[in-house]
Amino acid sequence: MTTSIFDNIISQRHLSLIDFYARWCGACGDMEPTLQRIALSLGDMVNIIRIDTDKLEHRKLVRRYNIVAVPTFILFNSGEALWRDSGIVSYETIASTIRRYAKHDIYSR
């Protein structure tokens, strides 16, 4: 994914959960079922975008968002980073965060 495509996605008025991961990362693999569950249960509220931090084309994004640990998750809406966490994050934590910001966005339109 190019930087310009990424910028276009996160600038939209819709929640986007960015998963900065690496294929060699055990915790990243452990998070895959959680992200799949989020996609199935909350896919109408959030886009999930996975960024492989080892790919050369993603180096600018890794630097821009100061990704020093994987997995790192950042939730965006309208270009603004609303929430950020790293490591193993529970389904409940991610889902409640998405619901909170989705609810806020509905009332602010």
Catalytic residues: 25, 28
Nearest residue to 72 (alpha-carbon basis) of 25, 12, 5: 25
The partner residues of 43 in beta bridges, in order of sequence, read none
Q: 67-96: b or e for each residue (b if 16 or more CB lie within 10 Å)? A: beebbbbbbbbeeeebbeeeeebeeeebbe
CA dist., res. 95 & res. 7, Å (int)? 23
